[in-house]
Structure 1
């Protein structure tokens, strides 16, 4: 067993499978802010990774745990008591992808009813900007956040494909391209974290409506979203172009060891640091793009170097449970704390260990590396 395989095995056996679905050991936001358990995107990132590992290995205990976890939150009629669809929160859609996967594997009606509810109760009614893109959340009107690309748009493609609705699929493709059109900086190729259509938020440029910085994990979410969408729609040349361009542009900001900084375009900024969750999302997307034939060997080497550096330098494997370091706990714009999107803001967010936002991309990238080899 290689070191990487040992780390993944330990995470599965010592951290993931022993976790109570109502108090998972990997959800550091719940721990730090003492939140009550509810349906959330963080836990569903981990379930996504576990299901990818199940697809690779066929290990029944991974599927059994995924079902146990999801069934804790999703009733037999597909309802989710801890969720309010009228929050119009794109983060909540992330778990709908897992419902789709579990339904495909098990044919259990609970999961089909669950993802259908996300469509009928939220996405059909989800408010949009004038350009047609979803608001990120009901509490953030007229705003696009890059994170929403990963949370919602691959599911939109899955749902549209299942129901043979070209309009739904095209909606997702158009929203992804709108993110490029609106949020992409032509000089760096990187994407701004957010856009305010009213140009009035505390973080928004008064002319462009864009947030000021390029936050690594939001660019990582976009990379992963495009990689997943390209796998779902292998015929889309538009998505292939967008993915290959973003991976190539992000790779320019990789340091010699393959790591990317919390603020990738600000290498000389004091206290800027190599951030693991966003680096791993880049590695995952790059390796998947190579497997799909979208990128060549240069991106395989880039993705593999990033993954190997995280494994060697940022995971402490000396104890029973490996410890993945340098994970930015969270990042956002506006809200109760008036987050201004400045470099100082992103560097002030708490850095944690063993959060699902880092462990899940690690396992996801691992599965892609195994598929390539």
Structure 2
């Protein structure tokens, strides 16, 4: 058994499966901020990872736990009582991917009704910018955040595939293209975290509307979104090209041991640190892209190197439960005091251990390593 095998086994047995669905041990935001149980993207990232692991292992405990977890939030009629569609929050769509998968596994109507409600009750009505891309949330009007790509676009692609809706597939492609045209820096190839169509937010450049920095995890979310969508929409040369370009450009900012920094392009900054969740999202996308024939051996190797370094240097596996370190707890723009998009802001955000935003991508990369063996 490799160290990675041991880590995964311990996480499942001592940390994930014992977690109560309404108070999971991995949701550090809910724990630290004393939040009430609520449908959220972090928990659904973990369930996505568990279902990926189930697909390669056949461990029925993972499927059973995923069903029990989702059933704690989704009623038999497909409604999600702790979610408000009027929030128009793209984060809330992320769990729709799990509803698709559980419907495929079980045939239970609650899951089909659930993803149909996400589509008709939110996405059909979701506000859009002038370019046609979704607002990130109702409280963030006229704004694109990279994070939203992962939360909504693979779901839309899956929905379009199920219902043979070519126009929706084209909408997905257009939104990815908008991000590239508006938010990609032509010098580094990295993407700015946010864009404000009104150029009026405290963090937005008054000419471009862009936030000032490249935040690692947001670029990681975009990588993973493109990789997952390319697996669904197999004939999209534009998305494949965009993913290959982003992975190549991100790989240029890897440190000697394969890690990426919280602010990848600012190696000179004191306090800038190797951040594990974003590095793992890059590694996941890199290895999946190589498996799908989108990238070559160099990118696959970069992903594998990053995963191995996280395994060896950033996970303490000496106890009953592994401890994954160097996870940025959260990152955003506006809304709260100090979220001005500056380098100082991103480096001031709390760094935590064993948060789902790090563990879930670790499991996702692990599944990719197994698919290539």
Q: Secondary structure at the match of 1:195?
A: strand
Number of the residue aligned with 1:275: 275
| Structure 1 residue 209: Cα displacement | 0.0
Deviations 1:18-70 (A, max 9, x none): 00001000000001100001000000000000000001111111000000000
What TM-score do the two structures reach when normalised by structure 1?
Answer: 0.99
> For structure 2, which runs of at least 5 residues remain unmatched after alignment?
none
Supply the distance in 1 between the matched residues of 2:22 and 2:260 (Cα, whole angstroms): 33
Alignment pair present for 1:303 and 2:303: yes
Deviations 1:209-267 (A, max 9, x none): 00000000000000000000110011110010000000000000000000000000000
Supply the distance in 2 between the matched residues of 1:158 and 1:86 (Cα, whole angstroms): 23
| Structure 1 residue 110: Cα displacement | 0.6
Supply the distance in 2 between the matched residues of 1:136 and 1:356 (Cα, whole angstroms): 21
Alignment map for 1:44-63 (pairs within 5 Å): 44-63=44-63
Bigger drift between 42-51 and 335-344 goes to 335-344
Number of the residue aligned with 1:24: 24
Number of the residue aligned with 1:366: 366
Number of the residue aligned with 2:352: 352
Bigger drift between 273-282 and 98-107 goes to 98-107
Alignment pair present for 1:227 and 2:230: no
Supply the distance in 1 between the matched residues of 2:40 and 2:112 (Cα, whole angstroms): 19
How many corresponding residue pairs? Answer: 373
Number of the residue aligned with 1:247: 247
Supply the distance in 2 between the matched residues of 1:372 and 1:202 (Cα, whole angstroms): 45
Supply the distance in 2 between the matched residues of 1:55 and 1:183 (Cα, whole angstroms): 35
Q: Secondary structure at the match of 2:55?
A: helix
Deviations 1:152-199 (A, max 9, x none): 000000011111110111101110111111100000000000000000
Structure 1 stretches of 4+ moved >2 Å: none
Alignment map for 1:1-373 (pairs within 5 Å): 1-373=1-373
Supply the distance in 2 between the matched residues of 1:68 and 1:205 (Cα, whole angstroms): 45
The answer to whether the 8 A contact 1:202-1:338 is kept is no
Supply the distance in 2 between the matched residues of 1:301 and 1:311 (Cα, whole angstroms): 15
The answer to whether the 8 A contact 1:327-1:358 is kept is yes
| Structure 1 residue 106: Cα displacement | 1.2
> For structure 1, which runs of at least 5 residues remain unmatched after alignment?
none
Deviations 1:123-174 (A, max 9, x none): 0000000100000000000000000000000000001111111011110111
Supply the distance in 1 between the matched residues of 2:226 and 2:9 (Cα, whole angstroms): 28
The answer to whether the 8 A contact 2:338-2:345 is kept is no
Supply the distance in 2 between the matched residues of 1:238 and 1:301 (Cα, whole angstroms): 23
The answer to whether the 8 A contact 1:192-1:214 is kept is yes
| Structure 1 residue 338: Cα displacement | 4.8
The answer to whether the 8 A contact 2:263-2:343 is kept is yes
| Structure 1 residue 300: Cα displacement | 1.2
Bigger drift between 169-178 and 330-339 goes to 330-339
Supply the distance in 2 between the matched residues of 1:306 and 1:369 (Cα, whole angstroms): 12
The answer to whether the 8 A contact 2:204-2:210 is kept is yes
| Structure 1 residue 336: Cα displacement | 2.8
| Structure 1 residue 207: Cα displacement | 0.1
Supply the distance in 1 between the matched residues of 2:103 and 2:242 (Cα, whole angstroms): 30
Q: Secondary structure at the match of 1:255?
A: coil
The answer to whether the 8 A contact 1:91-1:148 is kept is yes
What TM-score do the two structures reach when normalised by structure 2?
Answer: 0.99
